[in-house]
Chains A and B, each alone.
Chain A
Amino acid sequence: MPHDTMRAVMFLEPGRLELRQVPVPQVGPGEILVRIRTALTCGTDVKTYRRGHPNVKPPVLFGHELSGDVEAVGPGVERFRPGMRVVPHNSAPCLECYACKHGQHSMCENILFYSGAYAEYIVVPAPVVRLNTFEIPDHLTYAQAAVMEPLACVVHGQNTVQIQPGEHVAIIGAGGPIGLMHLQLALRRGAAQVIAVDLKPDRLAMARDLGATHLINPKTEDPVEAIHRATGGRGVDVAIESAGDAEAWLTALRSVRKGGRVLWFGGLPSGTTITLDTVWVHYGELTLYGVFHATPLDVQRAFELISSGVIDAASLVTGELPLEGVEEALHRMMAGTCIKMAIVPDGTGVH
């Protein structure tokens, strides 16, 4: 059994984290207590650390991609028992609001988020246990399984653009973890050409290793022109923005062919605006998609994609640090010297 207290990373304000001793949370009905074996760093953590986040009110426990072992189960939990290796998603919809009844669970008016993955233990809320928690198969590591949450968001995003076999796709910001997942999924959906655009040569090399057919570095050439050159002057059928940058949103918009689809995946700071060429949108018959988060179906599909090996989750986790190293891990993310970092609370290298 766990001790009364545990180590956990608190987000205090932008640029300030603190490792504290806090009480181990108690399980209630329908909940499970998970001993965290791996938490993964995420671009959203970096954004929150840098500038805060509208949905994150400090001081608060930090981190939201995790996997671990069931330590205790609350009354009424039947599907899980202590000792099971599990991966929980970081949210669950209410299933009862207008959006949920229309199958748009990511737009749930009462969506339940919880955080605290950078800690020794976490209580998974009952709706997440019921809808969005999976037993990890033996052949997967904790780190591979923890990729489920961001991959679910990628699956959700690509539900909109529905890449068809033989299509041409560009990914703006292809070298980050989200971009590399978009790249893999686009290839598995039969894209004939996937053009990777990224500012960092080593990340472009990683995209190449995962199957990108064409590499473009905006530091050395104009990405819109280069994408048109790579597609016979036409532009791509689908452009996916996964850089979280207003300029990248516009690059995606300008990179598609007439009749093309644009997926704006990366969220920007509150108040960000972009200026569109309406003539291009109108006469080009563009279809523009905004997306947020994921639905339980996306989570289930992400879990299947990882456990079946269709998506290579292992190569996205490029290093490991203990709980004391969360800030360093986020700085490595900002510097682009890693893809995702595994935070391993007991420091025994279990991933």
Chain B
Amino acid sequence: MRVAVYYRNSDVRLEERPVPTLQPGDLLVQMEACGLCAGETAEVYQLPRAPRVIGHEPTGTVVAVGEGEARFRIGDRVFAHHHVPCMACHQCLRGRYTLCEHFHQTHLDPGGFAEYFRVPAEIVRLDTHRLPESLSFEEGTVIEPMACCYKGLRITPTNAGDTLAVVGAGFMGLCFVQLACLTPAAQIVSLDRNEWRLAQARALGATKTLNPSQVDAVAEMRELTEGRGADAVFLTSPSRAALDLAVSLVAPGGTLHINAPPGDPGPHLSAYDLFFREIYVNCAYSASHVDTRAVLDLLTAGRVRAAPLITHRFGLDGITKAIELILSRGQSLKSVIRPSLTGTAEPVIRAT
């Protein structure tokens, strides 16, 4: 089968690998669509692990079922998460599944950017789901990344009448905007330097958008909140400037939620400032089965939408182009990779 092997952002090669063989309880899935995650373009993280098959947001069709697996059948359209916890360790018993050591040791085989991938039995049991007919394979790729945002909202206190700010209006920022609409917040403020992205945020429910390259965003936020600032700020950009902006937007006693890996090791944030304003800081670097299940239910019910977040499609041989697109941070959101597209397909921009 064909797989896409990541060497560096400018070098992703199509290689031939054997189709994985199944152990009892496993599934073999023919990959239909797999999203490219911005985290996969962070060379500081990826280069030490290269070369390898990346891609962790896949959906597809079951083509073989391991011995003893009774819940899934050949032909099922499925989403499979790429990590599952052990459910039994110190962290799991406290519900902190993404901190389980076993969580990081579980993987789809060989990864999402492959014509076929094997879902190990433990992932089949804990976090593999049939896609409802109403969700396309492409829409199903949104489950995993949106689950990371869902977790961010789940661990951040929000109350009726709050003002929530989302820094960054890329794919993750727009997930947060949609999920924020499901809270009783009074105002949802989206911030980005790109006007096209701010327009997407308004279309998806932001009550106000601010462009920090054009206005004093902190002053505008105070204007919107009787001088207080936002009750919670969700940071989705890795840039230092975005982090500094996010912390200055938080109201005293509010929460700063960090959902993007900081682009440099720091130090960041003034403890002096956090202390005297009694700011809570929390983080979500990944999501668990609790979050993927909730997002699947929200997508199925139509409470959040995936289609407006998918702007481009490429074949397995177009991944370097998709990476360039993410790094340009322009008029694009999520790119999905589809093996059915041959050659380097032209991107398909959806009207939103």
A105: nearest chain-B partner, CB-CB: B93
A130: nearest chain-B partner, CB-CB: B88
B126 close to chain A: CB less than 8 A: yes
> Does the CB pair A95–B87 fall under 8 Å?
yes
Question: Residue among B88, B93, B95, B290 with the most chain A CB within 10 A?
Answer: B93
A222 close to chain B: CB less than 8 A: no
B90: nearest chain-A partner, CB-CB: A300
Distance of A297 Cα from B94 Cα, bound (Å): 7
Q: How large is the interface on B (under 10, 10 to 19, 20 to 34, 35 or more residues)?
A: 10 to 19
Interface bits B272-300 vs A (CB < 8 Å: 1, else 0)? 00000000000000000110010000000
Interface bits A284-299 vs B (CB < 8 Å: 1, else 0)? 0000000000011100
Residue among B88, B93, B94, B289 making CB contact with A101, cutoff 8 Å: B289
A301: nearest chain-B partner, CB-CB: B93
Within the complex, the shortest CB–CB distance from B326 to chain A, in Å, comes to 32
Distance of A230 Cα from B280 Cα, bound (Å): 39
Question: Residue among A100, A101, A300 with the most chain B CB within 10 A?
Answer: A101
> Does the CB pair B93–A96 fall under 8 Å?
no
Residues of A close to B93: CB separation below 8 A: 295-297, 300
Distance of A103 Cα from B290 Cα, bound (Å): 9
> Does the CB pair B125–A96 fall under 8 Å?
yes
Within the complex, the shortest CB–CB distance from A247 to chain B, in Å, comes to 37
B85: nearest chain-A partner, CB-CB: A95
User: Which parts of B25-49 form the interface with A (CB within 8 Å)?
Assistant: none
A93: nearest chain-B partner, CB-CB: B87
Distance of A130 Cα from B86 Cα, bound (Å): 11
Residues of A close to B94: CB separation below 8 A: 297
Interface bits B81-101 vs A (CB < 8 Å: 1, else 0)? 000000110000111000000
Residues of A close to B95: CB separation below 8 A: 103
If A96-B126, A103-B95 touch, whether A296 touches B293 (CB-CB below 8 Å) is no
Residues of A close to B125: CB separation below 8 A: 96
Majority secondary structure of chain A interface residues (helix, strand, loop or mixed): helix
Distance of A281 Cα from B58 Cα, bound (Å): 50
Within the complex, the shortest CB–CB distance from B128 to chain A, in Å, comes to 12
A234 close to chain B: CB less than 8 A: no
A131 close to chain B: CB less than 8 A: yes
If A96-B125, A96-B126, A297-B93 touch, whether A102 touches B88 (CB-CB below 8 Å) is no
Majority secondary structure of chain B interface residues (helix, strand, loop or mixed): helix
User: Which parts of A84-136 form the interface with B (CB within 8 Å)?
Assistant: 95-96, 100-103, 130-131
Within the complex, the shortest CB–CB distance from B259 to chain A, in Å, comes to 22
If A297-B93, A300-B93 touch, whether A102 touches B290 (CB-CB below 8 Å) is yes
Residues of A close to B290: CB separation below 8 A: 101-102
> Does the CB pair A95–B88 fall under 8 Å?
yes
Distance of A101 Cα from B127 Cα, bound (Å): 10
> Does the CB pair B87–A100 fall under 8 Å?
yes
Within the complex, the shortest CB–CB distance from A108 to chain B, in Å, comes to 11
Within the complex, the shortest CB–CB distance from B186 to chain A, in Å, comes to 25
Distance of A300 Cα from B289 Cα, bound (Å): 23
> Does the CB pair A131–B88 fall under 8 Å?
yes
Within the complex, the shortest CB–CB distance from A92 to chain B, in Å, comes to 10
If A101-B289, A101-B293, A103-B95 touch, whether A296 touches B88 (CB-CB below 8 Å) is yes
Residues of B close to A96: CB separation below 8 A: 87, 125-126
Residues of A close to B289: CB separation below 8 A: 101
Residues of B close to A95: CB separation below 8 A: 87-88
Question: Residue among A95, A131, A295, A296 with the most chain B CB within 10 A?
Answer: A95
Interface bits A307-326 vs B (CB < 8 Å: 1, else 0)? 00000000000000000000
Distance of A231 Cα from B290 Cα, bound (Å): 43
User: Which parts of B123-141 form the interface with A (CB within 8 Å)?
Assistant: 125-126
Distance of A100 Cα from B92 Cα, bound (Å): 11
Interface bits B70-113 vs A (CB < 8 Å: 1, else 0)? 00000000000000000110000111000000000000000000
Residues of B close to A297: CB separation below 8 A: 93-94
Distance of A130 Cα from B93 Cα, bound (Å): 13
Within the complex, the shortest CB–CB distance from B193 to chain A, in Å, comes to 40
Distance of A300 Cα from B94 Cα, bound (Å): 11
Within the complex, the shortest CB–CB distance from B69 to chain A, in Å, comes to 13
Residues of B close to A131: CB separation below 8 A: 88
Interface bits A179-204 vs B (CB < 8 Å: 1, else 0)? 00000000000000000000000000
Residues of B close to A102: CB separation below 8 A: 290
Residues of B close to A100: CB separation below 8 A: 87
Within the complex, the shortest CB–CB distance from A219 to chain B, in Å, comes to 43
Distance of A300 Cα from B93 Cα, bound (Å): 9
User: Which parts of B2-41 form the interface with A (CB within 8 Å)?
Assistant: none
Distance of A130 Cα from B92 Cα, bound (Å): 14
Within the complex, the shortest CB–CB distance from A206 to chain B, in Å, comes to 33
Residues of A close to B293: CB separation below 8 A: 101
Within the complex, the shortest CB–CB distance from A305 to chain B, in Å, comes to 15
Distance of A219 Cα from B319 Cα, bound (Å): 80
Distance of A300 Cα from B293 Cα, bound (Å): 28
Within the complex, the shortest CB–CB distance from B27 to chain A, in Å, comes to 16
Residues of A close to B88: CB separation below 8 A: 95, 130-131, 296
B87: nearest chain-A partner, CB-CB: A95
Distance of A66 Cα from B331 Cα, bound (Å): 65
Within the complex, the shortest CB–CB distance from B233 to chain A, in Å, comes to 28
Within the complex, the shortest CB–CB distance from A337 to chain B, in Å, comes to 38
Q: Can you sample 20 A-B contacts with CB below 8 Å? A: A95-B87, A95-B88, A96-B87, A96-B125, A96-B126, A100-B87, A101-B126, A101-B289, A101-B290, A101-B293, A102-B290, A103-B95, A130-B88, A131-B88, A295-B93, A296-B88, A296-B93, A297-B93, A297-B94, A300-B93
* Chain B contacts to A: CB under 8 angstroms: 87-88, 93-95, 125-126, 289-290, 293
Contacts A96-B125, A101-B126, A297-B93 given; 17 further ones with Cβ under 8 A?
A95-B87, A95-B88, A96-B87, A96-B126, A100-B87, A101-B289, A101-B290, A101-B293, A102-B290, A103-B95, A130-B88, A131-B88, A295-B93, A296-B88, A296-B93, A297-B94, A300-B93
Q: What are the 9 closest A-B residue pairs judged by CB atoms, nearest first? A: A95-B87, A297-B93, A103-B95, A131-B88, A296-B93, A96-B125, A101-B289, A130-B88, A101-B290
